[in-house]
Structure formats: structure tokens, C-alpha cells
Homo-oligomer: A and B are copies of this chain.
Amino acid sequence: MSDYTVRRLSMYYRILDELERESDDVVSSASLARMTGTNSAQVRKDLSYFGNFGKRGRGYSVSDLRERLRAILGLDRQWNVLLVGAGHLGSALFSYKDFAKRGFHIVGILDNDPEKLGRSWDGIAVNAISEAEEVVARTGAEVAVIVTPAHAAQEVIERLTRAGVRGFLNFAPIKPETTEPVRVRNVNITIELEGLAYALQHDELTRPSL
């Protein structure tokens, strides 16, 4: 299944969550499409990869579709997450409420800054990176969020991979090289801003009167 499809499933899931809170009980592919910025054929195709969830002439049951997407996305269980990097961004992610809401629980924190070592955040201790293996074993972390400086990221990803972590959400501005069968998603804030700069500059040049 392509990443494009999975991303959209996440968006549908979020909308269904809202619709359920608003007590809507049915939704059409057209209105899901409008709310997620795509088109109805796309919605139907995305969902049809996983089954026939809709009723012709009527649409999709909100609560049923929501439950199915929850299972498809793997959100019907808890995911133990290791936070690597206890700087500003790490601390912001630690307090990000949506993670827990979706089943992602931060069970360990790693950092090498002596200032931070030994402290604890909401009862979670900050451990040294040299203790990575022990922390992974103790907490059963399957996923790591990497918010270290760029130069530290590659090494820590390799080390955690060997320790058994299989999924990485990487905020460091590098493209990690991986050997083992491991899943990596890169989030690169600078690249997104540069994309904006490119687009704005280009608009100016091509539509100078606007």
C-alpha cells in the first residue's frame, strides 16, 4: 500500500473522529473528500483496497468506518515510543497531547547532555545514550522519535536498530542509511520552509502585478 494512501487514511480517520463526536452517523465519499482536500473517487479507491465498507445510495457508517480505519492503521493497540533528544523540540513533542490520544506512549527518554541526565519528565527518567540497549529492553520500545542534532542521528539510529527498534520518526536533517528491515519517516522542517520560499519567490516573478 502506498504512503500516499496511508496518509489519506489518517486524514479520514481524524475527520471520522470529529463526525462521531458531532453524532453524524453516515458520511459520503464526496463529503469526506471535501473535508480532506481530495476527490470522491480517491476516497472510494483508498477505502476499497481494504474492503467494501460503504452502502450504495447511502454512504459509509461513521462509527463502523472509524473502527475499521483504526484497526487498519494499527491504532487499536498501544505503541511504546522512545524519545531521543531532550532539547526544545523533544520537550515540545513530549507534551504533545495527540500522541497519547492515538496510542503512542513515551516510555523512555535518551540524551547525552549531562545537564539533563538523571532528571525525569513526568516520571520518565532521562537516560544516557550509552544505556540505549537496556532502556529498549526494559521498556519494550518499538518506535523511536529522533530529535537529536544532525551529527548524532545516524549513530543512534544504528544503535537502536541493533537493539530492536523497528520504526523511526526522524526530525534530524539527514537521510539515515539503514540496512536492517526498518521503517523510517523523515520530517524536515527546513525543507518545508524552503519549499515555501521557492513557491513565493516564483509567484512574485511570474505574477509581478499581484
Contact = CB atoms under 8 A, between A and B. Distances in A.
Identify the interface centre among A1, A72, A196: most chain B CB within 10 Å of its CB: A196
A189 B7 CA distance: 11
A11 interface: yes
A192 B201 contact: no
A189 to B, nearest CB: 7
Q: Assembly of this chain: how many copies?
A: 2
A136 B125 CA distance: 42
A65 interface: no
A183 B13 CA distance: 25
Given A175-B11, A197-B79, A200-B166, A187 B183 contact: no
B169 A203 contact: no
A198 B187 CA distance: 17
Contacts of A89: 89, 92, 96
A202 B99 CA distance: 20
A109 to B, nearest CB: 15
23 contacts: A7-B195, A10-B188, A11-B191, A14-B173, A35-B175, A36-B175, A73-B194, A74-B202, A89-B92, A89-B96, A93-B189, A98-B173, A98-B190, A102-B190, A102-B193, A104-B197, A143-B197, A143-B200, A166-B203, A167-B196, A169-B189, A169-B196, A181-B203
B142 A37 contact: no
Nearest to A170: B192
A45 interface: no
A16 B206 CA distance: 28
Given A36-B175, A175-B36, A175-B37, A183 B200 contact: yes
Interface in A153-210: 166-169, 173, 175, 181, 183, 185, 187-203, 207, 210
